[in-house]
Structure 1
Amino acid sequence: MVSDAFKSFRHQHLFEKAGAETRITDIFDYTSPLGLLGTLANKLFLEHYMTRLLTKRNQVLKAYAETGKWNEVLQITKRLQQGV
């Protein structure tokens, strides 16, 4: 992100082998601007919103990875790169 609504923002993905599967852990660290107002916004809605957003995103990624839908995305990306 070049500019955003956060004072600071860091999002990491950690991948760990778990038997025949891969465990992905999101580490999401941010600081809201506006001092006390930002802290209040975090507690009232932002933490819950971001948790739901990352959970849903990870469910979609898991579905694509495990069903082969990733190949559809790859084909679309190739067509876009070729200008088709």
Structure 2
Amino acid sequence: MNDKYPAYINDNTAPPTISLRDYDDAEWADTTCVDFQPDSQRYVIVDLEQNDYIVAHIDPNDNKVLDIIFSSAKETHAKQQQQQQQ
């Protein structure tokens, strides 16, 4: 585990849950990204170099904001793909 990331809780078995605000302010935010895990229906923070390494979970209270951001990004991506095919 990288020392720059928050320590796991529950005897190092589960990543901590943080708010989007805490994530925005985290000194390690630039080496991570937000991802959605369909199996657990949770947003997580993952290490950019090791995508399977979960640094933290996002507080479910922030899900609506992330749902809007991810939905908008998916729409934009679909439009770009469509324009490239024309």
TM-score with structure 1 setting the length: 0.38
Q: Which has the higher contact order (CA 8 A, sep 6+)?
A: 2
Whichever of the two has the greater Rg, that structure is: 1
More strand by share: 1
More helix by share: 1
TM-score with structure 2 setting the length: 0.37
